[in-house]
Amino acid sequence: MTRSTPLANVRVLETASWNGAYAGRLLADGGADVVRVVPPSGDPLDSEPPFFGSSGKSVQATWYNAGKHLLPLNVAVEGGIERFHELVRNADILLDDGDGPLDSSRLRLVNPSLARVSISPAGEGGPWANLQVNDLVANALCGSASVTGNLETPPLNGYGNQTVHTVGLYAAICALAAHRAAKATGQFQHVDLSAHEALISCTEQVLMQWFFPDAGAWTSPVAARLGSLHWSGGYEVYQGQTGGGIMVTAALNFAQVLLPWLVEEGAAQDLADPAKYPDIIAMIRDLPYVMKVLREWVAANDAEQLFFEAQRRHQPFGLVRSIRQALEIPQVEARGYLQEQAVPGFGPVQFPGRLFRTSADGPHPAPPRATDWESIRWSGVRPPAPRTKPPADPSRPLTGIRVMDFTHVLAGPFGTRVLGDLGADIIKVGTASRIAGANSLDHPYFVCWNRNKRNILLNLAHPQGRAVAHRLAGQCDIITENFSAGVLARMGLDRPSLASTHPGVTVISMGGMGQSGPWKDFVTYAPTIHALCGLTHMTNPPGRYDLGYGFSLTDHLSGLACAVAALEGLEHRDRTGEGLAIDLAQFELGLGIMAPSLLDHLANGIDPEPAGNRHPFGAWAPHGIYRCAGDDRWVAIAVRGDGQWRALCEVMARMELAGDPRFATHTARLANQDALDAVVEDWTRPRDRYEVMAACQAAGIAAGAVQDAEDLATRDPQLRARDYFGAVESERWGTTGIDRFPARFNGVRPGLYQGVHEFGADTFEVLEEVLGLSPDEIAGLVAAGALE
């Protein structure tokens, strides 16, 4: 019997550029039937380097379009739009850029139950509605670049199309949520997704410090560029005497594990002096000294030996790996992450796997297949979609869905925050052992990721506490967890244990290295994953390997992937009655967001080196972040092709540069990038960054000010026009700022936001409402110690 994939029978029509193309790829990964409509002259992505050998076949186009049918169709000519509408008539989801001849009123007539997701750089309406961006410029505008790099370097663009991956994940979430609403109501759904807003939501400390200026270890509400040093001060990349770089941290059980190790090796220095450091609080107050001790210890040791010994002691250290070295990690082979695929015109290539694995996965998506009109089988009568209770609020399409959330720190809580913003009932299960530090209500970190959730306490070490957890699991649609591998199974709360009695539940496990393989017990946080997957290595100026991303990108993206996985589980359950077991290994997500570079290595043998802000594949030049007037003020400018270069020369009033043999052609500009960057910065240096941005945008050139939190909150006109920021109330914190969900559903942004609840504040309510327990029964559980 053929297994039904998570998104079997879901039909997706795609006319979008980068962001929508990645969303379509994610839906194809889940088994959706995705048709990408491209111009008769070919897909614009086909011109994107690098290429498979001398075949002329784009690595990036092949990756982002894997699993899709490519249909050439000119919708601007007679007959073309009619054929397009015929596809729309039989589609479930449409992904587009929010422009062109795609009028929602017409599409609604063609397909009254279509879910349309329009993905634009800054959202519909507002002064930046027609913004020209690429990955570099989008990262500058959203705050990412402002915290990546250090004060010795310009702000850095994160490596690897990460804006595309962030926005594409959000688009997939919106598509599946809107599709669910369309099935429930039989009504057209239009989602207006702002890439700018989506990216801002995934910048960790950028908004946290602004919303909570006096609540943490930071000294300014505007987050700084700190190199590899985490905003908490407790994670940093150091160079070993041998073995390369290693990310080390003092953040996990320092007094119980790491300090005794340092003492064993005679490397604790003054930390072993109880007169100077009588307790862990004293050490935390002198964290820079603690990190200095670690740096000097690492410098005297082999990095690889430290890594394996640290992991043996359950410390989340991470070796800084290149692209080639990341693929040599034994987890890759042991879990069968790479799958051979035949690339037309080139031959067999090992392809990276999906972001997560489900118990209903089909074959790995193959390279895209060109098709024709006659081959599209999207006609005929389709079985009626299963109906659920329609959401009362169109902006909260997940109303009626219940999620049991065992996750902590950032990745899992961010994923369930997204589901909660869209209306799901999130029941956050707290345990006394996890309420500390950044996982406590006293820290704004916990507050930022845990809005819109009910909070209960369960003692999972107590038999009655586990029994309550089992009963509650049976009343939930989704369970999320990021315990160590195997912990949930030992409690009998994994999918195999629950399937016989609760077949519809989906269980999502978010282990760092996955639920199997030789490294499954390794402990990881986002900086660990960044180091291991190549992201730290590649996010650097040339010749450096020690800076890396300025915030926990893979935690945010793992959270978004968790939300996609949850929606796939619901889709599968609605169709088959069965939930899914989902293994979301954050290391494999890290590899997935580096996939074009992995493929370039696997096909062409390229082990890339950091390129700073220059385009890693040489498609844009100039392509950099340039100093402007004012203290630490910068602007990103990206030029594609000779026409845009001439336009920039005109904007700079330096038309003689257009004919300068050093810069006259794209090839010449690539060969003279130092001189090219110098002439651009000569122009930007005395000018206001927003004026430079406006002048370039008016000429059709992608450019954007490097914005920090203060800019986003007080100067960004698009965010103000679209009312992106809001506020919530909580018992502990009073009124605090929030970033609201980055999309509008049928013109309405999700608008119901509750501040973080106190630990255990909802225990009685949940047990009464969901399980039907009486007050006396609950009191008995309290007396037994099961609810703590």
Rounded to the nearest 10°, the torsion over CA 286, 288, 290, 294 is 180
pLDDT (average), residues 598-619: 97
Do residues 556 and 414 lie in contact, with contact meaning Cβ atoms separated by under 8 Å?
yes
Q: What is the pLDDT of residue 68?
A: 96
pLDDT (average), residues 138-144: 98
Which DSSP string do the residues of 353-420 spell out, in sequence order? --SSEETT--SPPPSPEE--GGG----SPPPPPPP-PPPSSTT-TTTT-EEEE---TTHHHHHHHHHH
Residue position matching structure tokens 């962001």? 19
Entry pTM: 0.97
Q: What is the pLDDT of residue 397?
A: 95
Residue 373 sits at the vertex; the CA angle it makes with 369 and 379, to the nearest 5 degrees, is 105
CA atoms within 13 A on the CB side of 133: 31
pLDDT (average), residues 752-762: 91
Do residues 725 and 709 lie in contact, with contact meaning Cβ atoms separated by under 8 Å?
no
Residue position matching structure tokens 């899914």? 580
Which DSSP string do the residues of 110-140 spell out, in sequence order? H-TT-EEEEEESS-SSSTTTT----HHHHHH
Q: What is the 3-state secondary structure (H, E, C) of 474-530?
A: CCCCEEEECCCCCHHHHCCCCHHHHCCCCCCCEEEECCCCCCCCCCCCCCCCHHHHH
pLDDT of residue 373 exceeding 50, the answer is yes
pLDDT of residue 101 exceeding 70, the answer is no
Do residues 566 and 419 lie in contact, with contact meaning Cβ atoms separated by under 8 Å?
yes
Of 673, 615, 644, 702, nearest to 60 (Cα)?
615
Give residue-wise pLDDT tens across range 55-76: 999 999 999 999 999 999 998 8
Provide the β-strand partners of residue 38. 72
Give residue-wise pLDDT tens across range 703-753: 999 999 999 999 999 999 999 999 999 888 999 999 999 999 999 999 889
Cis preceding linkage at 384, omega within 30: no
Of 99, 73, 76, nearest to 87 (Cα)?
73
Q: Which bin fits 457, alpha (ψ -120 to 50), beta or left (φ > 0)? A: beta
What kind and span of H or E run contains 565? helix 553-576
pLDDT of residue 534 exceeding 70, the answer is yes
* Percentage of the chain lying above the pLDDT 90 cut: 88
Cα–Cα distance between 458 and 430 in angstroms, integer?
6
Provide the β-strand partners of residue 239. 245
Cα–Cα distance between 400 and 425 in angstroms, integer?
7
Of 638, 88, 641, nearest to 376 (Cα)?
88
Q: What is the pLDDT of residue 393?
A: 81
pLDDT (average), residues 108-123: 96
Structure tokens at 178: 């809107």
Structure tokens at 596: 């074009």
Do residues 458 and 431 lie in contact, with contact meaning Cβ atoms separated by under 8 Å?
yes
Q: What is the pLDDT of residue 48?
A: 97
pLDDT (average), residues 288-312: 97
Residue position matching structure tokens 């699991």? 473
Average pLDDT of the chain?
94
Structure tokens at 54: 């001398």
Give residue-wise pLDDT tens across range 384-424: 555 556 666 878 999 999 999 999 999 999 999 999 999 99
pLDDT of residue 1 exceeding 50, the answer is no
pLDDT (average), residues 649-659: 97
Cα–Cα distance between 30 and 33 in angstroms, integer?
9
Of 486, 460, 477, nearest to 786 (Cα)?
460
What kind and span of H or E run contains 37? strand 33-38
Of 441, 474, 397, nearest to 212 (Cα)?
441
Radius of gyration in angstroms for the set of CA atoms belonging to the chain, rounded to a whole number: 26
Give helix then strand counts, H and E, for the chain.
32, 25
Do residues 317 and 235 lie in contact, with contact meaning Cβ atoms separated by under 8 Å?
no
Is the torsion defined by CA of 301, 302, 303, 309 positive or negative?
negative
Banded pLDDT at 79 (limits 50, 70, 90):
confident
Structure tokens at 619: 């498609």
Q: Which amino acid is at 548?
A: G
User: For 4, which DSSP code?
Assistant: P
Ranking 161-175, 207-221, 322-336, 398-412 by mean pLDDT, the lowest is 207-221
Do residues 741 and 749 lie in contact, with contact meaning Cβ atoms separated by under 8 Å?
yes
Residue position matching structure tokens 């000119």? 74
Cα–Cα distance between 220 and 586 in angstroms, integer?
31
Q: What is the pLDDT of residue 386?
A: 52
Residue position matching structure tokens 């009312």? 723
Structure tokens at 304: 């690889």
Chain centre distance of CA 268: 37
Q: β-pairing, 68-72 with 33-38?
A: parallel
Which DSSP string do the residues of 687-702 spell out, in sequence order? S-HHHHHHHHHHTT-E
Cα–Cα distance between 739 and 720 in angstroms, integer?
12
